Structure 1
Amino acid sequence: MRTNTPTAELLFSDADASPMSTDPDTITPWEQARAAMEAAVTVWLGTVRPDGRPHSTPVVTLWLDDVPWFATRPGSQKGRNLAANPNCTLSVSSSELDLALEGTATREHAPDSLRRVLNAFATSLGWQLTLRDGALFDDALPGSPEYALYRISPTRALGYGAQGMTATRWRFH
């Protein structure tokens, strides 16, 4: 079983001849990195097209159960990309840290989980999606478009301090 508390380590060592700090005291705690991701106004999702080209677009995320969640239309470019290849990134930039989280996106289908996450989206973000016949819909939009709900299981993350001289890697187990 995988834990959501990653191992933190310096991204560079003295042998790398990098201007980045190699002082272990500059490792950023995961709690600080996660808080920066949760507070970010814009979160960029990176996916891979079937032909290998990258695709990046902003998404609204919600952290629940120690992982980020997002919704997208299944027929969107990112939805089609994730159906073919679930590997993805989330990237944010804040006044404290620039972060990139790598992981695997899994589409949620379980009705109980969908309801729980939809309630969290409505409470936290004010976005009301409706669950009907096992599918999600945004009834506030014309045509009530369908959405798919994804959670990202992090594998690793990279963070760079605001002053540009510290770097931390977090490895999830």
Structure 2
Amino acid sequence: MNATTQPRAELLFGPGDATPMSTDEADLMPWSAAAEQLAALPKYWLATGRASGRPHVMPVMGVWLGGTLTVSSRPGSVKGRNLLRDGQCVVTATIELGDLVVEGDAGHVTDVARQRELAAAFVAKYDWRFGLRDGRIYEDSLPGSPEYAFFEIAPVKAFGYGPDGLTATRWRF
């Protein structure tokens, strides 16, 4: 998805569903508002799948840039290995508008120009500085300058649940 393309918003439940959730299209949460709040969060929860099929969930820091969420991880960590093997993942977060669940496909960022752009975004948001050398990312403020990787998560489908517990929106990208 590029920054100008908007996902299709739809009610999660229809009038025929036996649910207490709103079926009024006026209650749809606009993706632009959800994405703006998502971008401002300091932390997200990232769920990945292990090779065995067991889930793995960890808090991560990330930057929202150009319609994708980028997280950083050491490539040898469980989440890093999971994302390198299978990029399907889920990011969850609580925003002022309610709760978000974003299903996405993560890709390992290897383009040096994009790495620079993302590293600058991490500095702007967190004052977290990465060293970039020979197409690799390092955390030079830590002993041994451990290697990191950027994983860019493109949303595929998302769900927004209002704080009232009675409204729900699904977005398809």
Q: Normalization by structure 2: what TM-score?
A: 0.95
Determine the C-alpha separation between the residues in 2 that align with 1:40 and 1:118. 17
Partner residue, 1:108: 109
* Offset of residue 36 of structure 1: 2.3
| Secondary structure at 2:154 match in 1 | strand
Partner residue, 1:82: 83
Percent of aligned positions that are identical: 44
Aligned residues: 171
Corresponding letter in the other structure for 1:125: Y
Q: Normalization by structure 1: what TM-score?
A: 0.95
Misfit runs of 4+, over 4 Å: none
Partner residue, 1:67: 68
Partner residue, 2:140: 139
* Offset of residue 41 of structure 1: 3.1
* Offset of residue 15 of structure 1: 1.4
Any unmatched runs of 5+ in structure 2?
none
* Offset of residue 166 of structure 1: 0.1
| Secondary structure at 2:91 match in 1 | strand
Deviations 1:130-154 (A, max 9, x none): 0011110000011111000111111
Deviations 1:93-121 (A, max 9, x none): 13321000001000010111111111121
Partner residue, 1:33: 34
| Secondary structure at 2:16 match in 1 | helix
Q: Is the 8 A contact 1:36 1:97 kept in 2?
A: no
2:97 paired with 1:96: yes
